[in-house]
Amino acid sequence: MSIQHHIHGDLLLAYCAATLDEGASILVATHLALCSDCRSDAEIVETLGGIFLENATTNQKQEKSDQKIFASIIKSHQSTASASSKSSLDSFVFPEPLRSYIGGDPDELDWQPVGGGIRQFLIKTHDSQTTARLLMIPAGKRVPDHGHQGFEATLVLSGSFYDRDSWYRRGDVSIADSTVIHHPAAGPEEDCICLAVTDAKLKFRSPLPRLFQKFHGI
């Protein structure tokens, strides 16, 4: 099944401009490894960024010329984009660059329980602004009802989950902010493994999840 939920425009722009924190950059780069559509979009953004930078420096291009270049680039990438989002590493649960950060497949990691059968693996980064973690949610299990104090992006790597009237499967990205309160549920077919990046702690509504939060920093 093709990817239905893609990287938010602002995230993709920030990634291409190299202004994203490391944790969020890992998530975007991993999504790009799985999604040919977003890879093509990123190439367009990077190409246009170079053109506009050159134009700003030389001041020789005019608006009409830029529009023609923009249309030409889009047409070129649409015709040459990969016909499939599969890559040589797509058979792995963890594609690059995520795989280099964690060093193996799910059964090789030191998963830590965080309550309710859910397990996590914290990813080491040099980023003090965001936290990146892998989550393994048992098939059919719900994540405790929670809100957010900040930003959360979740990329599905294996299995699926259902949240806010939508299914998210391998390669799909879910974005939540401080306005979102939700209760995601893993699909029934297999455990759901996700890469989750946050810039603030979650706001759990029930006492037991809040107790686990103190020990695991979720």
Mark whether 136 and 200 lie in a shared domain.
yes
142 DSSP β-pair partners? 185
Mark whether 194 and 118 lie in a shared domain.
yes
Mark whether 37 and 144 lie in a shared domain.
no
Mark whether 185 and 140 lie in a shared domain.
yes
CATH number at residue 51: 1.10.10
Any domain includes 92:
no
Q: Of all residues in the chain, what percent carry a pLDDT higher than 70? A: 72
pLDDT of residue 156: 98
pLDDT of residue 51: 65
Q: What is the pLDDT of residues 26-77, one digit of tens each?
A: 999 999 999 999 999 999 988 876 665 566 555 555 555 545 544 444 444 4
What is the DSSP code (8-state) at residue 141? P
Provide the sign of the torsion angle of the four alpha carbons 125, 129, 130, 131, taken in this order: positive
Q: What is the pLDDT of residues 88-120, one digit of tens each?
A: 345 578 999 999 999 888 999 999 998 889 999
173 DSSP β-pair partners? 155
Mark whether 144 and 195 lie in a shared domain.
yes
Q: Which domain holds residue 190?
A: 98-216
Any domain includes 93:
no
Which of 80, 114, 130 finishes a domain?
80
pLDDT of residue 83: 38
* Predicted confidence band of residue 79 (pLDDT cuts 50, 70, 90): very low
Q: Residue 44: helix, strand or coil by DSSP? A: helix
CB 212 within 8 A of CB 115: yes
Can you give the pTM of this predicted structure? Answer: 0.77
pLDDT of residue 158: 96
Mark whether 64 and 134 lie in a shared domain.
no
Q: Does position 9 have pLDDT exceeding 70, yes or no?
A: yes
Any domain includes 168:
yes
Average pLDDT, the chain: 80
Mark whether 53 and 109 lie in a shared domain.
no
pLDDT of residue 194: 97
| Mean pLDDT, residues 190-201 taken together | 92
Mark whether 117 and 173 lie in a shared domain.
yes
* Predicted confidence band of residue 133 (pLDDT cuts 50, 70, 90): very high
Mark whether 42 and 15 lie in a shared domain.
yes
Q: Which two tokens stand for residue 186?
A: 């893993």
Q: Does position 84 have pLDDT exceeding 70, yes or no?
A: no
pLDDT of residue 145: 79
Mark whether 102 and 210 lie in a shared domain.
yes
Any domain includes 87:
no
Mark whether 102 and 193 lie in a shared domain.
yes
CATH number at residue 159: 2.60.120.10
Q: What is the pLDDT of residues 136-181, one digit of tens each?
A: 999 999 988 787 788 899 999 999 999 999 999 999 999 998 888 8
pLDDT of residue 46: 84
Q: Residue 163: helix, strand or coil by DSSP? A: strand
Q: Does position 23 have pLDDT exceeding 60, yes or no?
A: yes
Any domain includes 130:
yes
Q: How distant is the alpha carbon of residue 76 from its chain centre?
A: 26
Question: What is the domain count for the chain?
Answer: 2
Longest dimension (CA), the chain: 63
Mark whether 62 and 152 lie in a shared domain.
no
Any domain includes 191:
yes
